[in-house]
Chain A
Amino acid sequence: MNSTLAHPYSEPYRLPAGALALGVHAAFFALIYFGISWRAEPPQGMVVDIWESLPQAEVTPAKAAPPPVEQVEPAKPVELPKPVETPKSAEPEQPATPIKADIELAEKKKPKIKPAEIKKDVEAKKLAQKKLEAEQAARAEQAAREERAAREEQAAQAERERERERARAEQAAAIGKVVDEHKARIIAKIRRNIVMPPDVPDSARAEFEVTLLPGGSVLSAKLARPSGRDAYDSAVERAIFKAQPLPLPADVALFNKFRELRLKFSPKE
């Protein structure tokens, strides 16, 4: 009886159970490994935040990039003929002289056989001349090429700079437009909120220095130049705070232009 009882407790499924356990762990670690390495990417996305403060830089390359291509293309056809001209002037002469020489040689060969040595000398001289000419032509070509390249580069750079300046000017103009538009809107909104006190002359002019917070709320409004009528000044001040939030452009980068505003108010306008 004991012999039958001693063995049966050995578990028959040791190996499959171990393999399954290892499999579960491998799966779990694969999950964690890929899961976390996937999550590690978002920080790269945060680089975008740095770009946010440079919207101008982003626009200029986009505009500046195409023009250089256009410039390089027209520049080439104009200047390419030049290099072709110089080699042409050198090369056509080269083939012409040998042909003539050959003809002369052929003529000489027929009547006399002696001048073979002279021919050789002539040929050698001609060869040397050809070499010299070829070298000179090559040098000229190289110089021409370098000059051309330098000129092209200069032209391209100048063009690029011009483009950039243009883009900058355009952008500045665009930004100025947006700023002006929103300043007008701010003034209009404040004006709507002014409760006009009686007996204010049309000539009254009040100037306020307004400090804004992002989001359009007013941090402070200082009377920079009183109009002379206290009632009007205080009415305008109340209107400034009543008009909160003031309309700001959607582009957060432009807020710096609105941080401190100097606004002029007069009853007529």
Chain B
Amino acid sequence: MNMTQDLSFLHLIQNASVLVQLVMGLLLLVSLLSWWYIFLKMFAVRLAVKQSGEFEEAFWESPDIGKLYQAINAKQDQAGSMERIFAAGVTEFVKLKKKSGIESRAIMDGTRRAMRAACQREMDNLESHLSFLATVGSVSPYVGLFGTVWGIMNAFRGLSNVGQATLAHVAPGIAEALVATAMGLFAAIPAVVAYNRYAHDITRLSSRFESFMEEFSNVLQRQP
């Protein structure tokens, strides 16, 4: 009847071997981090989509580039990704325009390069930590499995010392070990789901940025 005491969740963790405990600790840390990134990315992507939509609306409604540029500069770090791409393009365009003796084609090339660089930076920022989620999603089940296999190995090794083998001798050990797999899966499943979701969202944002860049260069080219 020891089983009733041993199967409490905290007992399972306490009685696990050191290595299994280490694996559980690692998985707990990884899971905490991945959930933190999941929520961080959720807020960041949502904000980026919202800001891009707002900026596109504002851009197509008022053709006054100078006003928009000043508004963005006034916003400082509150500016959204698309606004920063726009600002980078405008800055480069104005700089090149001021220099005399540059062909309009060279000006447009320079402006597009500047915008592409800004876009790359934005994408890099949005995609940061996504690789962490992907790694957690693919690796933590294996880490959990490792802890489980180790725990079960120990359980069976303990069984060999007992003359009469019953399920009661192995059950607590296996239950302990399986906690590691449970934790690994708990870390992995949301990480995989979140990775796929955010990767898709960010790809859509990136294509939106690119089409905006093309359209904006057309607008700049028409500029006197």
Interface positions of A (Cβ within 8 A of B)? 1, 4-5, 7-14, 16-18, 20-22, 24-25, 28-29, 32-33, 36-37, 39-41, 43-44, 47
Contacts and interface: CB of A to CB of B under 8 A. Distances in A.
Contacts of A20: 35, 39
B203 interface: no
20 contacts: A4-B87, A5-B121, A7-B76, A8-B78, A10-B77, A13-B40, A17-B39, A17-B40, A17-B42, A21-B36, A25-B31, A25-B32, A25-B35, A28-B186, A29-B9, A32-B182, A33-B9, A36-B9, A36-B12, A43-B1
Interface in B31-65: 31-32, 35-40, 42-44, 47
A contact patch SS: helix
A83 B218 CA distance: 120
B88 interface: yes
Nearest to A33: B9
Contacts of B79: 4, 8
Contacts of B77: 4, 7-8, 10
Contacts of B182: 32
A16 B47 CA distance: 14
B112 interface: no
Contact of A21 (B1, B4, B35, B84): B35
Interface of B: 1, 3-4, 7-10, 12, 28, 31-32, 35-40, 42-44, 47, 73, 76-79, 84, 87-88, 91, 118, 121, 125, 182, 186
A2 to B, nearest CB: 11
A43 B4 contact: yes
Contacts of B73: 4
B178 to A, nearest CB: 11
Nearest to B186: A28
Contacts of A5: 84, 118, 121
A32 B8 CA distance: 10
B43 A16 contact: yes
B38 to A, nearest CB: 7
Contacts of A33: 9-10
Contact of B43 (A4, A13, A36, A43): A13
Give the top 6 A-B pairs by smallest Cβ distance, nearest first.
A17-B39, A21-B35, A7-B77, A13-B43, A40-B7, A21-B36
Contacts of B84: 4-5, 8
Given A1-B88, A8-B77, A41-B4, A13 B9 contact: no
A24 B7 CA distance: 23
Given A16-B43, A40-B3, 20 more contacts: A1-B87, A5-B84, A7-B77, A20-B39, A21-B35, A21-B38, A25-B28, A25-B31, A25-B32, A28-B186, A32-B9, A36-B7, A36-B9, A37-B7, A37-B8, A40-B7, A43-B1, A43-B7, A44-B1, A47-B1
